[in-house]
Amino acid sequence: MMHPWNDALFESLRRRAGRLPHALLIHGARGTGKLALAERFAQLLLCEAPDPARKPCGACAGCRWLAAGSHPDFRRLEPEALAPQPAAEPEEGEPAAKRGKPSIEIKVEQVRELAGFLNVGSHRGRFRVALMHPAEDMNANAANALLKGLEEPPPGAVFLLVSHRPARLLPTIRSRCVAVPVSIPPRDAGLKWLSDQGLQDAGRWLAYAGGAPLLALDYAEKADLLDRILRQPAPVTDRDELEMLAEALQKQALDRAFAAYGLPPKYETEVPAARRSDALAWLAFAREMGRHRRLCRHPLNPKLFSAQMLAERPSP
């Protein structure tokens, strides 16, 4: 379901549906509802209601098939790790070691499979829609394969690229898309939505999420773990906690530096202010933690890497 703070943006996309570009790059901070917006727009394009004002109607065959995940004119590309079910069932008796972990990348094979889909006529006589999320998770081969489709798009094909970090996409891909920026909603709108979800201490988690409501809700579900990491950062052995630690250290460092300059803490991590003379060191450490957060997805030893991050902290 689309989120209320994106209603106006959706209406602007609705008005452009009659002169639609072949590719949209829907981008913005994580947790702002970009994916739900893209899904809603895909439903609009595939809706078969005769009255344009009623689209997407939610009742026609096109809307029902899309909701069931079986629309013949829609394809969704995302890493296996984000898929609700494994991409393929393992063979009976196959050793667990050979099955491997779900991929965190969008692979070239997934993009190549789009060619047959996009170059065949629409089953329902409308658009053919390919949604990619998050688009920056394409590996290099996948990105180059997508570029070929964007350079010579077949008639009636629409690409919806959803990205948290569009700067990580190839410049040639970005140049062939019309950018649709999705902003962080006003704080009051975010707090109201979180309150409607029944979230306690919404203000704290919205601040920690940088104002992104969906991310705040995700953090709140991990409150016990995050509280432990924030209160007493320590080396971790669980790979899933590694990026959480790097993020916590980064946000604590920024809050220390902001307070040293007399600014309010952005993330409300409740750390003491740094000395003004140490503010630049904390800012440099925050930048380093940003780089480490990207490295956390690689096969590193969590305990050693987390110990290294903690050792790099400036002295309080």
pLDDT tens-digit series, residues 154-198: 888 999 999 999 999 999 999 999 999 999 999 999 999 999 999
Tell whether the model's pLDDT for residue 89 goes beyond 70: no
pLDDT at 120: 80
pLDDT at 97: 45
pLDDT at 294: 87
Q: Which residue did the predictor score with more confidence, 89 or 70? A: 70
From the list 267, 259, 270, 261, the residue with the least C-alpha distance to 289 is: 267
Residue whose token pair is 């081969």: 141
Mean pLDDT of the 288-298 span: 90
Cα dihedral: 146, 86, 83, 223 (round 10): -140
Q: Which residue did the predictor score with more confidence, 211 or 104? A: 211
Q: Strand (E) positions, the chain?
A: 23-28, 74-77, 128-132, 157-163, 178-182
pLDDT at 100: 64
Residue pair 143/88 in contact (Cβ under 8 Å)? The answer is no
Tell whether the model's pLDDT for residue 35 goes beyond 80: yes
94-152 pLDDT per residue, tens: 554 445 678 889 999 999 998 888 888 778 768 899 999 999 999 999 999 999 889 98
Q: What is the CATH number of domain 4-182?
A: 3.40.50.300
Q: Compute the distance between CA of residue 245 and CA of residue 315 in angstroms, rounded to an integer.
A: 18
227-256 pLDDT per residue, tens: 999 999 999 998 889 999 999 999 999 999
pLDDT at 37: 97
Tell whether the model's pLDDT for residue 219 goes beyond 90: yes
Q: Token digits for 73? A: 């004119």
pLDDT at 123: 81
The pTM of this model reads: 0.89
**What are the residue boundaries of the structural domains of the chain, listed by start?**
4-182, 222-311
Residues with Cβ within 8 Å of residue 305, at least 6 apart in sequence: 242, 292, 295, 296
Q: Compute the distance between CA of residue 124 and CA of residue 127 in angstroms, rounded to an integer.
A: 8
